[in-house]
Amino acid sequence: MNKHAVIVVLVALLAGCDNTAAPLSFTPEMASFSNEFDFDPLRGPVKDFSQTLFNEKGDVAKRVSGSLSTEGCFDTLELHDLESNSGIALVLDANYYLDAETREKKLRLQGKCQLAEMSASGISWDTDDNGFIVSAHGKNLQISYRYDADGYPLGKTSVSGDQHLSIAATPSADKRKRMDYTAVSLLNEKPLGRVKQTCDYDSHNNPVKCELRIVDQSVKPVVERKYTIENSIEYY
């Protein structure tokens, strides 16, 4: 076998390995935080990221950004919802997340970097043996969370007084395209809304750009809104 043939064989073998290697699972912190703070979970050695949601006019509706340690802990997390004019920037300090501006303690942690309690609102979180948040509870509030075998968040159920809200997501069967999903939400067993998202992906199987459609069934006539999500991700 000549040298050129050897190179061709090696390239083919490496390409075969890349195509068949199973994508990485979602970590407990990434999956749980995405549930709580409403952003798409990412996988792999993420160093920092931003997710920006644009409305149909091209205006920024929401932006989430964060930085993570090599262990996968969120060192910082910043959330801005321009539609509701709200936001917060959190920074990790020992066993707490502090308000980056006021330095007020906002969230207490359990273990190295998982959510435990938001004392101001009386909410606390419980984890399973693998470190995923599986429930949250507070005064007149109970939430349960579901994940698949790879840590992908499948939805949650919230009960507050006589309000029963459930969200169920169905991801693509292709594990490399988990952010291609549909989701339905029900309020007291009545349809509240539907969501469908499709994305383009990078080599880590993370979304770089997505098209999001949200159908609001709580109003008559039904309203459909279209959004675009652009992600910027830096890896270790």
pTM tops 0.75, yes or no: yes
6 found inside a domain: no
- Planar angle of CA 44, 196, 228, nearest 5 degrees: 70
7 found inside a domain: no
Q: How far, in Å, CA of 124 to CA of 109, rounded? A: 10
Contact 87, 78 (CB under 8 A): yes
Contact 136, 115 (CB under 8 A): no
Residue reference for tokens 């190295």? 112
20: amino acid identity, one letter: T
Residue reference for tokens 């693998």? 130
135 found inside a domain: yes
3 found inside a domain: no
Residues 6+ apart with CB under 8 A from 63: 50, 51, 52, 53, 78, 79, 80, 82
Tell me the C-alpha to C-alpha distance, in Å, between residue 160 and each of 34, 93, 139, 140, 222.
21, 32, 9, 5, 25
**Predicted local confidence at residue 20, as pLDDT:** 56
As for how many domains the chain has, the answer is: 1
**Predicted local confidence at residue 112, as pLDDT:** 83
**Predicted local confidence at residue 2, as pLDDT:** 52
DSSP annotation of 24: P
10 found inside a domain: no
Range of 81's domain? 26-235
**Predicted local confidence at residue 14, as pLDDT:** 45
Q: What are phi and psi of 107, to 5 degrees?
A: -135, 135
50 found inside a domain: yes
**Predicted local confidence at residue 4, as pLDDT:** 52
Mean pLDDT per 10-residue segment, the chain (236 residues): 49 47 92 95 97 97 97 96 93 96 96 92 95 95 96 96 96 96 97 97 97 95 96 98
Query: Is the backbone of residue 129 left (phi > 0), alpha (psi -120 to 50) or beta?
Result: alpha
54: amino acid identity, one letter: F
Q: How far, in Å, CA of 30 to CA of 19, rounded? A: 25
Tokens of 15: 């390409």
